[in-house]
């Protein structure tokens, strides 16, 4: 772990974000798979040790700390009870219009019928999206996609595979769009983005396309392809190592304050 800490510090020193005042930096992080291990029961998930304390410290010294997750806002309030941290659930998706709501309702109803023959698969209905959970199912993500693809096409919805899930929502929406809106709203001088899954890829791409100084941090697992982190400056070995970066960042920011 000592070698990893030295590597993290070295990457940070070389990042253009490290030259910016802490009060002008925006930190946006995912939760599941980034600050918490992914287990068989999402209801039992908790943040890894020190992660929440590091977020608390950072909320006092950075311009803003945001947890952007596909979890619902209610779940995030329970999982990240840290005053000063902004919680954005449902991947920041806007409320669906009536046509989009009808499409989501149709998907939920017909997908439930399609998945009745797949033990362990379940659909989680959210305000602006749906998640097909496959962690307890004896079916691959691609097999589930093949089953659902005709329905996705019929409803005009987007379906993207993640870590044993399929995220379903309106096209051209998701974490990339949410991050772009945050940048326009907050206008930071520098940005740090952390994530572990396919729905974080768009956020990494949004930052890479903008001239703002930024640092993208991937949190790896055997469940995602290595190219997910092609635009990342640093890749951590699982959420157990994420607090190491956050603590280092908090120490740096406190020294600069």
Final residue belonging to a domain, choices 115, 144, 169: 169
Final residue belonging to a domain, choices 122, 147, 169: 169
Give one DSSP letter per residue of 17-73, joined into a string: GGGS-GGGEEEEE--BTTTB---S-GGG--PPTTHHHHHHHHHTTSSEEEEE-SS-H
Task: Tell me the pLDDT tens digit for each residue of 8-47.
Answer: 989 999 999 999 999 999 999 999 999 999 988 888 899 9
In the DSSP assignment, the letter for residue 157 is -
* Number of structural domains the chain divides into: 2
- Are 160 and 227 in the same domain? no
Cα separations in angstroms, 234 against 80, 209, 230, 250: 24, 18, 10, 17
Residue range(s) defining the domain that contains residue 80: 2-93+174-256
pLDDT above 80 for 172 = no
- Are 15 and 77 in the same domain? yes
- Are 68 and 135 in the same domain? no
- Are 62 and 6 in the same domain? yes
Task: Tell me the pLDDT tens digit for each residue of 135-147.
Answer: 999 899 999 999 9
Task: Tell me the pLDDT tens digit for each residue of 201-214.
Answer: 999 999 999 999 99
Nearest CA to 27 among 94, 84, 72, 75? Answer: 84
Nearest CA to 131 among 71, 171, 77? Answer: 71
| Cα distance between residue 31 and residue 196, in whole Å | 9
Final residue belonging to a domain, choices 169, 191, 219: 169
Question: 125 forms bridges with which residues in the sheet?
Answer: 130
């Amino acid at each position: 772990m000592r070698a990893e800490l030295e590597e993290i510090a070295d990457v940070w020193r070389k990042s253009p974000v490290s030259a910016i005042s802490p009060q002008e930096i925006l930190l946006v992080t995912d939760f599941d798979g980034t600050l918490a291990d992914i287990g068989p029961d999402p209801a039992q998930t908790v943040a890894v040790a020190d992660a929440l304390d590091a977020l608390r410290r950072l909320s006092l010294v950075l311009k803003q700390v945001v947890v952007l997750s596909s979890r619902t806002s209610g779940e995030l309030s329970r999982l990240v009870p840290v005053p000063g941290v902004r919680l954005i659930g449902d991947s920041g998706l806007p409320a669906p219009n009536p046509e989009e709501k009808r499409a989501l309702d149709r998907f939920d109803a017909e997908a439930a019928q399609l998945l009745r023959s797949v033990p362990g698969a379940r659909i989680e209905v959210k305000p602006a999206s749906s998640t097909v959970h496959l962690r307890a199912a004896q079916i691959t993500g691609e097999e589930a996609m093949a089953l659902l693809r005709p329905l996705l096409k019929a409803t005009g919805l987007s379906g993207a595979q993640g870590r044993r899930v399929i995220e379903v929502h309106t096209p051209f929406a998701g974490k990339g769009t949410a991050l772009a809106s945050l940048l326009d709203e907050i206008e930071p001088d520098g940005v740090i983005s952390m994530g572990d899954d396919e729905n974080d890829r768009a956020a990494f791409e949004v930052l890479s396309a903008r001239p703002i100084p930024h640092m993208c941090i991937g949190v790896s697992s055997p469940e995602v392809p290595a190219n997910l982190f092609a635009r990342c400056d640093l890749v951590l070995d699982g959420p157990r190592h994420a607090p190491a970066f956050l603590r280092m960042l908090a120490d740096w920011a406190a020294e600069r304050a």
